[in-house]
A = this chain, B = another copy of it.
């Protein structure tokens, strides 16, 4: 490729970064997309890898394979640690430097423990394939250890699962755990009854899935309860250690003895957010996200665009949500503005098109708002299933996921129940 074409650097191969790269197809630029892993991850189904329903490769595809036919794109695997806005260069962990004329930052978010990083090892969060495989191993191992244990207290702690946070991840995890305990595992153990496992969902606020209208939150709560999940609202977690969780509720503190905690309570922007904000003299929002201009550019730096979960932006008074469709739209819009800039045309403000959103709870259980219409239960679940199959990348993955879901539907079995002791990935 000729080196006199403008160099576009995209950081992150998630929904935003990938959409930007694709939208630059045919543009007279040299695009380099850099990511810490080699794959694009379909994060909406990550909880199914964590709960042994899907194999990791079914929801991930090599970024360079997805973009292979786009000749103006180079894909690199690397860890960006610094961005120098003055010299327009990006520094990687191994010392390499990449220059740019245009930069699109799409490094997303990670879990946040609200400053209590010591909780991380006891209450893993769910953002990467390695996270999901680690959680899978821990959850399955708890049942194995309970089967081996002769101590009733230890057994109870091993069969108590505490999910923290009533957002989509927490709800999906709690619902699926209940299904595993009640429908997948019974009949396979001799010393314990997996169906006696206790699944608790702790939410600090007044309802689960608070981004949805209140009636849908209420429905989600009843749907969870119908699966056997104990939902505790107004339950604030004040401590987590190897033995259990400390909860504050109505001014009283209680301790839940458990060996299984899953963290779905908070996310914060990738550290590059704070770095960009500092370098451009602005203040990141509470979640560490970068307040961007209406055209997605960094204030004072029209050559830098920040998109997806890393960007804080309100359109017509409504904050753009941190979900895959929003990140995709921002990626496409950033590419459009970049092409406009190449032709010395002015950039346009980003408009978010809200096609709706859905959250799943379990078999035949979900909620959704689509085109202003509200759905719950069976119909919402079928819509959720259909949408997730359609948006999954790769024909093979769609087929295998459909097949795995069909088999789970009929047999209640989950085929990815495979782990080794101390397995990390």
| Residues of A near any B CB (own CB < 8 A) | 1, 36-39, 55-58, 60-62, 64-65, 68-69, 74-79, 96, 128-130, 133, 140-141, 144-145, 147-148, 187-191, 394, 396-397, 399-400, 403-404, 407, 413, 415-421, 423-425
**B129–A64 touching, CB < 8 Å:** no
**A145→B76 CA distance, assembly (Å):** 9
- Which residues of chain B come closer than 8 Å to A140, judged between CB atoms? 38
- Which residues of chain B come closer than 8 Å to A421, judged between CB atoms? 36-37, 77, 79
**A419→B147 CA distance, assembly (Å):** 32
**A148–B76 touching, CB < 8 Å:** yes
Please judge, given known A-B contacts A38-B417, A421-B79, whether A96 and B148 are in contact too, CB under 8 Å.
yes
Please judge, given known A-B contacts A77-B421, A128-B420, A420-B36, whether A64 and B396 are in contact too, CB under 8 Å.
no
Q: Which of A141, A144, A148, A418 counts the most chain B CB atoms within 10 A?
A: A418
Please judge, given known A-B contacts A147-B76, A397-B415, whether A420 and B55 are in contact too, CB under 8 Å.
no
**A418–B56 touching, CB < 8 Å:** yes
**B130–A420 touching, CB < 8 Å:** yes
Choose among B57, B76, B148 the residue that contacts A55 (Cβ–Cβ < 8 A).
B57
Residue in B closest to A65 when the chains form the complex, CB atoms: B188
Residue in B closest to A417 when the chains form the complex, CB atoms: B62
Residue in B closest to A419 when the chains form the complex, CB atoms: B38
**B57–A144 touching, CB < 8 Å:** no
**B425–A188 touching, CB < 8 Å:** no
Enumerate 8 A-B pairs (CB-CB under 8 Å) in ascending A order: A38-B417, A39-B417, A57-B417, A61-B418, A62-B417, A65-B417, A75-B188, A76-B148
**A394–B420 touching, CB < 8 Å:** no
Known pairs A62-B418, A76-B147 / 12 extra A-B pairs, C-beta < 8 Å? A36-B421, A38-B144, A38-B419, A39-B417, A55-B58, A56-B418, A57-B416, A65-B188, A65-B417, A77-B144, A129-B418, A394-B415
